[in-house]
Amino acid sequence: MLLVSNRLPVTISSTPEGHTLVPSSGGLASALREYHESGDGRWVGWLGDTSSLDDKAVSELFEEAKQKRLTPVNLSAEEVSLFYDGYSNAVLWPLFHFLLDKVQLEASEEWLAYTRVNERFADAVASQVEGLATVWVHDYQLMLVPSLLRQRARGTRIGFFLHIPWPSSDVFRILPSRAEILAGLMGADLIGFHTDNDRQNFIHSAAEVLGVDYGTSSLRWQNREV
């Protein structure tokens, strides 16, 4: 299996001897680290801010990551600011947590960055997916990746898990990019949520925004069962 998340499960540590990678303490990283280390799969994600390091140090860290079966996606400081801070955390996170007064809906530049970064992740995964049966994408920063990956690596089994709530359809429809987000997720074969209420909210959102047919546990999209 190939795991995909915004951040890799490591952090850059600087010492007098140089730079190295140490395990990070985030919830997603902690939850999946043992699974990753016990198998022979790979993990794709952002390594962290390397802007203060020279090319030699970055190259050495990328090689160390490779030895740990980690594939870094390189992002510029501007991309991180727009994609992560500007769209993921200023638009999606508050909307999905019903904090409507904090949602920054005027975010066209941030949305374009979110799209570009998701494409970058899909390219990185597609380059690594040969011989792996399943790709498991995680969380709201990468909701376009399932559909983008399906275009790049047909036949791959794709799962997605959302680690935050899915809002009611009335709230979700506030999002200008609602159709693109849903279509991105519908590229997955299996979508997971924390609660049955989140699952029902997603189903109703997909039905209302995309007009998909749905049953009690699946959706029909582009001649596929999701």
Is a pLDDT exceeding 90 seen at residue 99?
yes
Question: In this structure, what DSSP letter does residue 98 have?
Answer: T
pTM: 0.93
Q: Return the pLDDT at 125.
A: 95
Question: Which pairing describes strands 70-73 and 134-138: parallel, antiparallel, or unpaired?
Answer: unpaired
Residue 216 has pLDDT above 80, yes or no: no
Stretch among 45-59, 138-152, 206-220 having the lowest mean pLDDT: 45-59
Q: Cβ neighbours of residue 80 under 8 Å, at least 6 residues apart?
A: 46, 49
- Let me know: does 52 contact 43? Beta carbons within 8 Å: no
Pick the closest to residue 142 from 129, 125, 155, 157 (CA basis): 125
Of these ranges, 1-15, 115-129, 204-218, the one predicted with the greatest mean pLDDT is: 115-129
Which percentage of the chain shows pLDDT scores above 90?
65
